[in-house]
Amino acid sequence: MKDLIGDYLHYLDVQRGLSPQTRQSYAEDLKQFREFLEAQQLTDFPEDTLVISEFLKVETTSGKMASSLARMVSSLRTFYQYLLVEHVIRTDPMDTITSPKKQQHFPVTLTITEVNTLLTMPDTGKPLGLRDRAMLEVLYATGLRVSELINLQLNQLHLTIGLIQTIGKGNKERMLPIGDVASDWITRYLENVRPSLMIKANPRSANVFLNNRGRPLTRQAVWKMIKAYVRTAGIQKDVTPHTLRHSFATHLLENGADLRVVQTLLGHADITTTQIYTHLSTQKVRQIYNKTHPRA
């Protein structure tokens, strides 16, 4: 069973082009499933729906959230499809397994005032403060994921024509417009800060944003940086790097952007993923209506 899972994960690496985080989630889910089967003294992946249902029942009673269970069902479904194609099994027991409904959690967003406050927190008189300001401006101006930001390469910047290039989930490329303000902050960082960071770099990196040793930044470093500025700004919300992405999308929709355009900018494969922001915008409209209409 372990070898089959290994073959499947290799297939995902070669054929599906999944992000490292998604691949790791699949690996963890299948490891838990294998350990459950081994505890039941089973040596093959079962074609019996009842066995899989029992596994999911155990996971449910252990306190797993609905979203984690839904992901686990998805992991098993794609794995069993692979086993069927490879003729390891003759029937797919996942055909009759339904996914639990996910609880819908609306993402935290910042108001435009809060965003403006946060962007002014870095001390741009200091090299790393100037770098941080440029990073925050880019995150809000483009809706980049943090992984896309820290992997952004110099040859992906096309500032003279107001575009940046990025590689998102599934190795999908997209070109994003970037406004003059964010573009100006990147230029100031590239001219005044990055060269001095590059002197410390060994080996040299083509990444746009570097740490104080001239190496590429990590997700954790960006997370800590943003958390520190949020505290300084006195913002009483659970802000993460993704919050700027959420705010980017919400503010676009509140100001009349088409949902399909926002989907393209965010790099969502399915528009239903983007539609959560329409709920947020609808809430904002309702608040304004209740506050301003005489008979609300």
Residues labelled as active-site residues: 145, 169, 242, 245, 268, 277
Which residues, listed in sequence order, are joined to residue 158 by a DSSP beta bridge? Answer: 163
Strand order in the sheet with 157-158: 157-158, 163-167, 173-177
Are the CB atoms for 182 and 141 separated by under 8 Å?
A: yes
Cα 21–Cα 156–Cα 162 angle in degrees, nearest 5: 120
Alpha-carbon gap, residue 174 to 144, rounded angstroms: 11
* Helices and strands, counts by H and E, the chain: 14, 3
> What residue ranges in the chain does DSSP mark as E strands?
157-158, 163-167, 173-177
Alpha-carbon gap, residue 211 to 194, rounded angstroms: 9
Alpha-carbon gap, residue 224 to 240, rounded angstroms: 9
Cβ count within 10 A of residue 5: 17
Are the CB atoms for 267 and 237 separated by under 8 Å?
A: no
| Helical pair 20-39 and 49-61, crossing angle rounded to 10 deg | 110
- With DSSP H G I counted as helix, E B as strand and the rest as coil, what are the percentages for the chain, rounded to 5? 65, 5, 30
